[in-house]
Structure 1
Amino acid sequence: MNDDGMASDIDMNDEYENAADSIATDSEEQETDPVVQEIPVFLALSTTGLVLIQHPTAKRAHPLAEATTMRLKPLGQRFEVDIAINSNSQNYSVDSAEKLGRGIDNEDIATAYDKVKEDHTTKLLDKYTLQSSVLPSSTGGQYLIGALRDDEFHLTPIAATIQLRPALKYLDKILEKEQAAKAKIQEHEFNLENPNKKKEEAEERGVTVAARSIENDPEALRKAKELDEERKFAQEEWINLRLYNENSVESEEVYEKLFSLGDELSFTYSKNDYLQSIGPKLSSTIKQDFDGNKKNMKLNRCMDDISDLPLGDFLRSFMLSVHVIPFSTIKELTEPRFDELDLVEELERIAVHVRDGIWVVRSELLYAGRVCEARRILLQLLARSADPISRYEVNRIAKLPHTMITNMFIEICARVSGVQTYSGRNHVGSSLYALGPGGLRPASPERKIDVYDGDSEMKWGLKAEADNVFCERWPDFVEKHLKIVEDEGERARHVLNSRISSKISNPLLHQKGTATSTPIPRPGSSMHLSSKNGSSSSPLPVPTTIGSKATSSIKVKTEPTQASRQELFTVKGNSINEQCEYLIHLLLAKYGVASKEFLVASVLRHKSVPGSTGKENLLNNDSVNEEFIGMSIDGICVHVQTGRFVLKTLGSADQYRDVIINLFKTKTTLKKPEIIQACVDHGTQAIPQSTYLKIMRELATSSGPSWLIDDFVPSIVIFRSSNKVQCELRMKE
């Protein structure tokens, strides 16, 4: 390149020549497919409210040509058409028309016990009804109708599109009539069999009205909305419409309105006005809505809308939209307007630091009640370890609907592939003893336990990238929020476990005012016993789990405090058998599913507990040993699967419960359709939804559309030291 810039001029000329050659080549290609005619396009706005009617099930082009009546409910957004059936056609079946004709009026179906009416006439089905799907609001010009005249193309927007499909209302009416006729026959036959039995007078009974909040139940909200829409639809009157054929005067008048008058469109918007209309800036009035004390923030605002807000309002609106984000990204968005220290201090009021510089919006800003507590447990699990987690780890405690728990995970997590759901762990102990029907016996020195995590789907992990720089710069905040997340998670577990315990039909009776009445332990707490007298002794430092799922193979413990001991129950009963069975019943009423080892150790632990008022604790007897308790368990319990026992009976729900227990004996996972089918095959009536949920929550845990039999049964660790048998009870969360 010379000083005069000649090289640049040559390069630019070459580019222009290449571009010109390209344009010339395109022009040559276009000549092979020339433009024949240019047609101006006009927008006609004289006619509004045009509706496009589609007939996806009709075989002929114009099914409405034979319509007899048409009607509309504008508020209910429903359109119906009655079309006559050609009874003279060779395909018309009089027998079928007579059967279906029973559903076109409100007259009852005659039974064998009814008198035949002399003026009775057989009605035939001579028409069918087409009804629309939900009549949508304006689609914003998704469809347009075009008309060509005098080499001008005129377009008119279509307000809505509906589809007409057959409405088989007469089938529903026939079903209702058949059920009514069946009930009439049963009543008549009952009266014939019991001629002297008078009909019992209706007794006055108190009516209990229970009010239940549905604001946290999406399914209940949906049903309530549907019922409200059905009520409004039933109250609205039909408006009869008249159909004009295409050659009528009325149709010609509407057709003429499809053509524009040819007026030129005038544009009143400037470029800035147009941009303001599709993406307005926040006014000062709207900015006042971003009150830091309000939770009903408008979500998903663009950055231009919130960038000028104060720091607290900006972070609140931003975090409510993104849910999870590394600190480095927040810092980039706010520099240089805000100081980093101010940013961190304001951020912790709206979000919590989970780990690795990743912040997540606080749960109470998004949810309430049980859903909020479940999300706090999710954050606790994410903060404890970088390992992926499953929905089951949260939902076995929260017991939320599948869709709700999945959406909660999607907000802040991403699926992680390649994680095995089954794993084998080897636990080795030189002085390990197992508790079985025959008493204590040495266990295998090397025992492999298959651990199932309850979620056959992929695991989940935080979907934000780590920001380790934040952890290095702000270690105090990291440590502070680690404690906050852990404490909130523990409180959430306690709240959810308390709610589950309160739903047990047989309440637990506690010994009050004595040293033996102790609170329910935290998950993972332990208790040490003597197999003879139930007194506690110092533990060995290396216990090994031999019950259900193990949380760790080696655990060094200190003497348990009163707050960490298992809850003790009042011993009731007039005999040893009654007292033993009573305790077993209480334990299984609380946990639903438990291992025999846990039940045996729990009963042994109650040897030193006083009996109820005026009763003696008969369990404090040498005859009450592992074998005796095992026989009691076999008498009132059912062995469902390896290491899992449930009560044989609970009461009125047993006609369905026995069927479900038998299914769980063959399968670990069940789905509702196969449970319903099994009940039908067993000859029972359709299982009520409340009974179904009560049984399944007792025996299993929801894992999406399936129910998994409880795997987190209370487990027990047994070992020998100085000729004393000691037990650790690990409680079910």
Structure 2
Amino acid sequence: MASGDEDDPIIEEIDVYLAKSLADKLYLFQYPVRPGAMTYGDVNHLSARIKPKQQRVELEIAINTMSPNYCNSKGEQIALNVDGTTYDETSTYSAKMMDKQSFSSIQATTNTSRYAAAVFRKGELHVTPLAGILQMRPSFSYLDKADNKTREREAANEGGDSSQDEAEEEAKAITVRFARPESEQARQRRMQSFEFLQRRQAEEPWVHLQHHSVKDGRSEHEKQYLFCQSGDGAENSDLVKTPKEYLAMLMPPLAEEKVVKAVGPSNVLSMAQLRTLPLGDQVKTLMKNVKVMPFANLMGLLASGTDQTSVLRCIQQVALLVQGNWVVKSDVLYPKNTCSAHSGVPAEVLCRGRDFVMWRFTLERSVMRKEITSIIKLPPEDVKEFLEHVAAPRVNRGWEFLLPTDVDFIRKHPDVAHRQNMLWLGIQSKLEKVFNFSKEDFVPKNSSQPDPVHISGDQRLRMAEERAKDTHTSLQKDLDARRAGSGIHVKQEPASDREDEPMDASSSHIPNGSVNGYPSASSPCLGTNGGSPANAPSPELQDFVRKTFRKHFVLTLNELKRLFNLHLASRPPGSSIFPSVSDHMLQDVALLCQCKQIMVPFPAQTKAAADEQKVFGLWDTGDDFDKHRRLLYDLFTKNYRIRRNMIQTKLSQEFGEASKAEVDRLLQECCSSHAGMWYLKGTIQS
């Protein structure tokens, strides 16, 4: 230490004084959008005011309208937009020209304990703590005033009959409610809410100030308070701390530092906290806050690598598909035993009304609030809340759905879209009974919009029956000829006893061939009673079935339908060359493609669906291995599950010693294993 002191000798000692006269009144102003060389010291300050508790300051500074850099025409235009053509004492620009600008402050830091203003004079350093550091930025509140003027003029031009506002009738019911006692938990939540904090800040009155320039005599007088007065340092004494203690005072250990957490609303969850929740809760929380969202955006908010199938499963539990976008379900927003914050209406009634609004958006892009209110008979405040969740007001068009139709999602996930369409049909039937209306009342007439509309099941059935009458005879003859040519004999059932009655509802009869943007029940997708046999099996359909069985060898009818639907979904929109296809047509095509039905003896108590009990196997491929498959199929007509050693024994008896490779190939092509037993593909019972 001694050698260090000799190398760095003390040149001068300076006394440091703590001045307290301005300790709670001294602010440092920063102008981050202004170059340091261009100060506002010589500019005329018109007014100044402060809210001391919030440390919020506003200044009005004159603009030199005589400067060669000032554009008179722009200044006059801005004044005209803000104040209009009439001028009075409330006008912002009394000179009919923008001759001043406003500055508003924000706090640069909330903790100023480490900052001070220092003045050096006659070998003494006088330090005054800062009460706050404020950044003064230009305020553009005059633009808000100009916008309000524009809205007022537009409202006047509309003559008070704007569809954007859709003014309610003069006479309306008033619901009287009595405030319930507020719990302590509810009071704390209310006091932490953004609205409450904003209201408290607005309640603090402004204190008007008088500005004095740098060279003003009052400013020179106030500067003297930056120096320690005779009474300020009376209590000060010599520093008796050791070097270590003094260093600890200047730089306290990290453990002693207290981190002040920002106070936010109790219902706000950060993305980091959100991702600690289970996937279902993450999806529910996001949808409850956002209300309406495309599926791609939802995947972007979740953690990278999240399984898309799992997200689809979760989203369908808390949301419904509207125009290809996901909208949160009504019972998630309005849980049981709750009521409206506006009118006190029970949650059950709110859910029915909101479901009606969402259903209307599945039909068309825009709705009118008056029309909605007249049907669901709910207070205007609740109806407006329903609409604000998913729509935006448009002049002369009512309320328009917020997001464009997500065609990509519908094309990529036709099974989900079809399932959601079925849900909406069920909701529609309930709404028709509750509100006593007919869906045909809302079908857009002469609509120029390209959006698809709903076609009811009765309409599809009538169109299918009319078309089926004309084609049934010719189709039956064609099918009989094909069966006869292939050596296949199928017992003809009466049309009334068939499970899958042929029905055709091609896109030529239904607008856009879809319902609510989803594949309708009449689109060429297979279901339990799906499709239409209006046309004979096409070569393309036979080619698909033949290639599918060449790849899988054994398929249940249910699995064959699933693969066919996936094949249709993978094709570009509008490029499908397949007619509507029924279950019976698909079975007939399988029989035409060298396949046979395997009559598997499932147990009586099996829970398998009828389509899962219909099993087809590839019978003839022209390969020597066909005889091994036929033997396997014969074994499965005696039992629905078999052990491996039984299969190997039977093969050895019929074709000589069967190698392990042959048995492995046979089982791999046609079977699945579970609990030591082998089943034909798709027949394992859960």
Name the structure where helix makes up a greater proportion of residues.
2
Do the two structures share a fold, i.e. TM-score over 0.5? Answer: no
* Structure of higher RCO (CA pairs closer than 8 Å, 6+ residues apart): 1
TM-score, normalised via structure 1 length: 0.35
Who wins on radius of gyration, i.e. which is larger? Answer: 2
